[in-house]
Amino acid sequence: MADAATKPKPVTTTADEAQQELTDGFHLVIDALKLNGINTIYGVPGIPITDLGRKAQAAGMRVLSFRHEQHAGNAAAIAGFLTKKPGICLTVSAPGFLNGLTALANATTNCFPMILISGSSEREIVDLQQGDYEEMDQLAMARPLCKAAFRVLHAADVGVGVARAIRAALSGRPGGVYLDLPAKLFSQVMDADAGARSLVKVIDPSPAQIPAPAAVKRALDVLDSAKRPLIILGKGAAYAQADDAIRALVEKSGIPFLPMSMAKGLLPDTHSQCAGAARSMVLKDSDVVMLIGARLNWLLSHGKGKTWGEPGSKQFIQIDIEPKEMDSNVAIVAPLVGDIGSCVSALLERMDGKWPRPPADWIDAVNERKQANIAKMAPRLMKNSAPMDFHSALGALRNVIKQRPDAILVNEGANTLDLARGIIDMYQPRKRLDVGTWGIMGIGMGFAVAAAVETGKPVLAVEGDSAFGFSGMEVETICRYDLPVCVVVFNNNGIYRGTDVNPSGGSDVATTVFVKDARYEKLMEAFGGVGVHVTTPDELSRAVNEAMDCGKPTLVNAVIDPAAGSESGNIGKLNPQSAVRKK
Ligand SMILES: Cc1ncc(C[n+]2csc(CCOP(=O)(O)OP(=O)(O)O)c2C)c(N)n1
Ligand SMILES: [Mg+2]
């Protein structure tokens, strides 16, 4: 049955009684989402979906309006990552849809389950290219950028359309799905009972995928043969929410582990087996590497080259739900295909009580390197000087998270990202949300909003000044919903640095620099939040601690030495270099 609150308004006259038994496209979409436990929508209103948002709110859903669809889309995507339910982004046709599409493509690349629902214009006019209001063949545009794309033309198909979208987003490797809802659909009416019967509650949308016993044995045989084993945890492992099993596997095996960025905290970064501080060494010197929900893409130098030591020195075991992931870059000697929870549990079951610890010389070598690197870094994190550099500012924020391990850290930028990833230890799973596989700028405020909404925990967003600019207007959204978000802008006057000069000597500034000494905190004040300007690590600590304690929307403008950063942070070597010296 349709939810009482979502039915058309009660009517009293006999003539209208027939009305009471009707439902329409608007209500069917809302009922279909609610039936599947989806209660939050992130979007931007406008023709033809304004009323859908209103009616969803009236039906008890949380409908959060943003200032730009890309940020609503990013919010939906990270909601999907955090909850294992598809996050919903709702947009208008053509331009709104396109604004949401970047987030949809990014979600698909990062394997976050989300559904972009966009209203669309009259099919008959769009297909004849007769120039309709916001005309665009959205379904065709979306298809190559997501896992699946569907259009619903008839009210009676809304239930199946929503069900297919949910199943496509969640099953196997999760990702983005596009659902096209033409304007005409919303006003289509049908019998309310038939409508209710047409809805589909999706049963077991991400079924367990059990690995083959032979594949489990093969993986354990390879692991057993290792002299210098390493486990790499990816964000797939974080998404899986198999935290206890993963921790048990790591601890039972005694193998050093390396967390990828968004897998930090799956086991605490301070865990004795964490090899984060000896990253270069373990990648180079390990002989057997077990990847758990981590892909051998550019972030791991494709599993080859100098990073990985002598060619042919490595054997890879890979756990992934997607069989096509295997051998994507280098040969995988022991592919273990299945969902991460099932695979890790299967490995654990077969590792009997006397599983051998890795050779002591390997563990000692890793620990030695780790301690040396930690000791080298320590004094840089404790400097209390003005202007701050990245290390001293991040040293302060590191303590904030140490004292609040359940807070969520959102992070984007270049230096601000790469250095924060190394310096700020994480202690709990799924607490670090960042630029992901694409290194995309602009996720900041969207992720921060959804992190606060979905978890109710305080959020600390550590943002390069350039990165912040991509989604900065959403501070109004943060204030409007009064979310416990503290944004820290690392203000070094530009992209990577604020010191570049225009090589032509002309009056335009260099391409990478911004207005000097900008006061970003005033943006937050404009909407009733708290703005603070800080120049030392002590001031930064005080301001952020206060914000995190009181939960008021806060923006801390943290002045960073404009000369402190390096080109592209840690990935400068990816910039193409030409032998030609011409300017
Ligand atoms: C959507 C998008 N556009 C552009 C880039 C290129 N890019 C990488 S990092 C960055 C900004 C770095 O500056 P900032 O955020 O201030 O960090 P800093 O190094 O100064 O701390 C840009 C524009 C990108 N990654 N994503
Ligand atoms: Mg900057």
d(Cα 329, Cα 434) in Å, to the nearest integer?
24
Inter-residue contact 468 to 444 (CB < 8 Å): yes
pLDDT at 98: 98
Q: How far apart are the CA of 520 and the centre of ligand 2, in A?
A: 12
- Entry field: residues in the chain: 583
Structure tokens at 498: 């604020």
Given this model, what pLDDT does residue 581 score?
77
Q: Is the CB of 520 under 6 A from ligand 1?
A: no
Ligand 1 pocket test target in 388, 415, 434, 441 with most atoms within 8 Å of CB = 441
Residue at token pair 């008021």: 552
User: For ligand 1, is residue 393 a contact (CB within 6 Å)?
Assistant: no
- Give dist(CA 367, CA 300) in Å, integer: 22
Which ligand has the minimum distance to the alpha carbon of residue 441? 1
Q: CA-CA distance, 146 to 513, in Å (whole number)?
A: 35
Q: What is the pLDDT of residue 384?
A: 87
C-alpha–C-alpha distance, residues 167 and 160, integer Å: 10
Say how many Å lie between the CA of residue 468 and the centre of ligand 2. 9
Distance from Cα 572 to the centre of ligand 1, integer Å: 12
Q: Which residue among 68, 101, 495 has the greatest number of ligand 1 atoms within 8 angstroms of its CB, and so is best to mutate?
A: 495
Nearest to 159 by CA among 117, 112, 199, 111: 199
> Which H/E stretch holds residue 390?
helix 390-403
Q: Which residues contact 242 (CB under 8 A, 6 or more apart)?
A: 340, 341, 344, 345
Atom 2 of ligand 1, nearest CA residue = 441
Residue nearest to atom 18 of ligand 1 (CA): 496
Distance 467 CA to ligand 1 centre (A): 5
Q: Which ligand lies nearest to the CA atom of residue 419 in the structure?
A: 1
For ligand 1, say whether the CB of 495 is within 6 Å of any of its atoms. yes
With left for phi above 0 and alpha for psi between -120 and 50, is residue 129 left, alpha or beta? left
**Ligand having the closest approach to the CA of 415:** 1
The pLDDT score that the predictor gives to residue 48 is 97
- Please tell me if the CB atom of residue 169 comes closer than 6 angstroms to any atom of ligand 1: no
> Mind giving me the DSSP string for 536-551?
SHHHHHHHHHHHHHH-
Q: Are the CB atoms for 335 and 326 separated by under 8 Å?
A: yes
Please indicate whether residue 492, judged by its CB atom, sits closer than 6 Å to ligand 1.
yes
Mutate to test the pocket of ligand 1, among 390, 397, 466 (most ligand atoms within 8 A of CB): 466
Helix intervals (H) in 225-266: 235-239, 243-253
Q: What confidence score (pLDDT) does residue 20 get? A: 66
The answer to whether the Cα torsion of 212, 216, 221, 226 is positive or negative is positive
Q: What is the rounded distance in angstroms from the CA atom of residue 190 to the CA atom of residue 12?
A: 20
Atom of ligand 1 nearest to the CA of 390: 21
pLDDT for res 385: 83
CB 515 within 8 A of CB 505: no
User: pLDDT digit string (tens) for 224-276?
Assistant: 999 999 999 999 999 999 999 999 999 999 999 999 999 999 999 999 999 99
Pick out the chain residues at pLDDT < 70.
1-20, 583
Report yes or no: 211 and 338 within 8 Å, Cβ to Cβ: yes
